[in-house]
Amino acid sequence: MNYLLTVAFDGKNFCGWQFQPEKRTVQAVITEASNKLFKCKCAVTGCSRTDSGVHALGFRCTVKPENGDAVISADKLPLAYSSLLPEDISVLAAETVSDDFHPRYATITKEYEYRVLNSRIPDPFSVGRVFRYPAPIGEEGIERMRVAAEYICGTHDFTAFMASGSKITDAVRTVKFCRVERVGNVIYINVAADGFLYNMVRIIVGTLLDVGRGELAPERVGEIISSRNRRLAGSTAPACGLYLKNVIYE
């Protein structure tokens, strides 16, 4: 049996998704809980590798018990996991999939959300869950960010928005939408694409914030993409504001 889980977690106290020796990771915690639940070793495979401090609203992973007789009804799994997982991670939903289903390679769209607290005053209840950005960005700045975001949409070589030193040679990705909204003093930047490069969303955010505060003209974003020069794009926004929001399969 192969189960596909939808998982939410607060990444503040995790060293990312993937197993790391002597470090607390999401994969390790889910694997430990799965082994207890199914009373056998389980293979746990994620849809992506989230960095340390990154959060998830709808992460997807598969759980495959080694013992083929270890079967639990999928609709009972969220509640069953709740007694085995710590409070900063939850299984929201579960379903059965084919044995050859891979949660990473079957993905057609991923959506990330980035949250920016645009305030000079810290919010003690959002520490580690948003990026506090004190430079004021008014409504005109938000509109400039929206215009700039349109240049990001479409199929492009996103080398300029990839972490320096990355070994990826094919940097072409298709961004399906890039949206900027403000609710109160929080700016939400949502980006959906068929795939992402390392730090791509966080560099997009850093660049859009430069546009928002008037240091970069919106049309410069298109020029930066064409340049394929990482040094022309903005800084890499910190991991604390990033959320994997949704993963869509065929």
Q: Which residues are catalytic?
A: 51
* In contact, 111 and 191? CB cutoff 8 Å: yes
Q: Does residue 231 sit in helix, strand or coil?
A: helix
| CA–CA separation, 212 and 130 (whole Å) | 17
**27-44: buried (b, 16+ CB within 10 Å) or exposed (e) per residue?**
bbbbbebbbebbeeebeb
Q: How far is CA 136 from CA 126, 187, 190, 236, in A?
A: 19, 12, 20, 19
Contacts of 87 (CB under 8 A, 6+ apart): none
